[in-house]
Structures are given as C-alpha cells and as structure tokens.
C-alpha cells in the first residue's frame, strides 16, 4: 500500500502492463483515495498536470491499497480496475 498525497495530482495512473488508465484529478488524503479521469482530453490533461483540476462524476475512485508504486510521474496498480 502506498500513502497518497496531493503531490500525486496530475500523475498518470498505469496498470501492471504499463498501459495508461487515466490521470489523477484529485486526492482525498483523509480517505486515501485517488480520483482518476479515465479519458482526459488535452485541456483536462494540461490542467491536471499544472495542479488545477478537480474530480468529477466520471472519475474512477482508486483506494491507496490498490496502488503498488508511486514515482515522480505515475501511480501504478497491480490489478485491473
């Protein structure tokens, strides 16, 4: 399990086969949940990368216990969501 922080917002969420699932739009640090936009358009991706995005209704909730590794640019899960 990884500990999620607001520094993870804007990172890519990748699966075990290095396929991009989406981009982290928001992190709830109290609940340890990352909200991931599964199909961001260019504008959303740029906003998220700059840290200006928010979670919305179509975001996937990814609990911290599903995140295997965290790097400077991505969060990686070991199972299919």
If DSSP codes are grouped into helix, strand and coil, which group holds residue 24? Answer: strand
Nearest to 67 by CA among 54, 77, 57: 77
- Decide if pLDDT at 75 tops 90: yes
- Decide if pLDDT at 69 tops 80: yes
In a domain, 76, yes or no: no
Q: Residue 2 is encoded by which pair of tokens?
A: 């990884």
CATH assignment of the domain containing 15: 2.30.30
- Residue that the structure tokens 């995140």 belong to: 67
In a domain, 80, yes or no: no
pLDDT in the model for residue 79: 72
pLDDT in the model for residue 61: 93
- Decide if pLDDT at 20 tops 60: yes
Number of domains in the chain: 1
In degrees, to the nearest 5, what angle opens at C-alpha 12 toward C-alphas 42 and 40?
A: 30
In a domain, 79, yes or no: no
In a domain, 77, yes or no: no
In a domain, 64, yes or no: yes
In a domain, 14, yes or no: yes
Query: What's the whole-model pTM score?
Result: 0.81
- Would you give the distance in Å from CA 63 to the centre of its chain? 10
pLDDT (tens digit, 9 = 90+) per residue, 29-47?
999 999 998 876 666 656 5
Q: Which structural domain, as residue segments, surrounds residue 10?
A: 4-71
pLDDT in the model for residue 72: 94
The larger pLDDT score, comparing residue 14 to residue 46, is at 14
């Amino acid at each position: 399990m990884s500990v999620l922080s607001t520094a993870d917002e804007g990172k890519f969420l990748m699966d075990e086969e290095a396929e991009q699932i989406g981009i982290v739009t928001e992190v709830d640090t109290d609940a340890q949940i990352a909200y991931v936009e599964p199909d961001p358009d260019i504008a959303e991706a740029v906003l998220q990368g700059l840290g200006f995005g928010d979670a919305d209704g179509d975001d996937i909730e990814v609990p911290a216990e599903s995140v295997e590794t965290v790097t400077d640019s991505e969060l990686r899960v070991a199972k299919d969501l």
